[in-house]
Chain A
Amino acid sequence: MLYRNILLLVLAVAICSFQPGKEEFTAMKDVAAFRAGLSKMAAATKSIKASFTQEKYLAILANTIESEGTIQFKKPNLLKWEYTTPYQYAIILNGKELIINDQGKENSFDIASSQAFKQINELIVNSVQGNILDEERFSIKYLESKNHYQAQLQPKEEQMKKFLKGIDVYFDKANYTVAKIRLTEPEDDYTLITFKNTRLNESIADDIFAAKKKKQ
């Protein structure tokens, strides 16, 4: 149960990450319009490619811990989240399996074999498609600035609250794509993931979402 919630937390972060700047946010004026815009964008999106930077802030350290990578998503439920610097690590979801490639060593798990993996799969795919705002496990507050919409998600489940204080998801006002995600932990340490060079509806081959052994 705990392991499941940790995984859910990790994956929720992975999907929703973006960076907050010094923008001033106020309560969103038209939440219905924002959600409609998001749904429209999600419906028109067949694939997403982006690179990201991840910064981990720990109160005990004077500097953040940085990493970089890429994300590739293809409808209906194919996702590859890959770290390339300073380590090689990837998580792949292909509807059937959850595959972790850790520095070349692969471990795969059958999604259907576990309720936890099913939930992880749903959560990730919903997040990538912008449907995370329908998640009933979070209460949501809507804000906006000049350039971004912001959804502040707070977990309702006690188990998740032990590991997660909140997820702030920032959407680009111009096109409703996720710009950054900030995951705050109970001790106020946080992870900030900022997406850049986001491209929609580019061609992505299906085989990047398969386990290595199946490609050979």
Chain B
Amino acid sequence: MAGADGGLVYNATFRYKDFQASGLLVAKRVQPSEYHVVLLSKFGVSLMEFKLNEGGIQWIKTFEQLGKKRVEKMLERDFRVLLLTGLDNPGKLKLQKQEGGELTYKVKSDPGLRLRAEAETGRVLYAENRGFINPVKTKVSFLYKEDGDIPEEISLKHSNVAMRLDLNLLKVINAER
């Protein structure tokens, strides 16, 4: 994801039906294909922390429930779509269509992605995972300020699940360390 080399800090709001909880999500690219992700409470305490690379999720801190294989797989997929890891090393990027100033691509990666991007700027507006049997698809929308290439707002939803994650950009850290 653009701007993640120094680190991005988002206000993260999780909603499931009537329940709402929020925290801070920190994401930093530490290697060309490796991200460090931390979820903090508003009080600053880190609740969840992991590295995401080609080998999957490597937990640094987690809840017992998140360590379950099925949940971990879903979390990994969500973050791969959210962070657009398929673009870090796109095996095959194939243009599917061009329409109204937008380009739609198919990305052969794990998971496979379908992307919609602005033709003029190349900014990704929407991403979802592809798959033959895909009942709970991860769908992510990206919203930018006029000139920026770092998403100001990100919205992650799933098909068939009343759960969503909304991210609002709080801070961009320069890549100094």
Stretch touching chain A among B4-12, B86-94, B155-163: B4-12
B20 within 8 A of A: yes
CB-based contact A103/B44 at 8 Å: no
Let me know if B115 is at the binding interface, CB within 8 A: no
Which chain A positions have C-beta within 8 A of B170? Answer: 65, 86-87
- The answer to whether B42 touches A83, judged by C-beta atoms less than 8 angstroms apart, is yes
Find residues 33-63 in chain B having any chain A CB closer than 8 Å to their own CB: 36, 38, 40-47, 60-61, 63
| B42–A107 CB distance below 8 A | no
Known: A2-B63, A61-B28, A102-B13. A107 touches B47 (CB 8 A): no
- Does A138 reach chain B (CB closer than 8 Å)? no
Kindly state the separation between the CA atoms of A103 and B6 in the bound complex, as whole angstroms: 28
Contact (Cβ within 8 A) A62 B44: no
Is A13 in contact with chain B by the CB < 8 A criterion?
yes
Identify whether the interface residues of A are mostly helix, strand, loop, or mixed. mixed
Tell me, yes or no, whether B165 is within 8 Å of chain A by CB: no
Q: Given A9-B45, A10-B43, A191-B45, are A60 and B30 also a contact pair (CB < 8 Å)?
A: yes
Check A61/B21 contact, CB under 8 A, given A6-B47, A86-B170, A191-B44.
Answer: no
Q: Please judge, given known A-B contacts A63-B173, A183-B45, A191-B45, whether A107 and B19 are in contact too, CB under 8 Å.
A: yes
> Given A56-B24, A86-B171, 11 other A-B contacts at CB below 8 A?
A13-B45, A60-B38, A61-B177, A62-B173, A62-B177, A67-B42, A83-B42, A89-B42, A162-B61, A163-B45, A191-B43
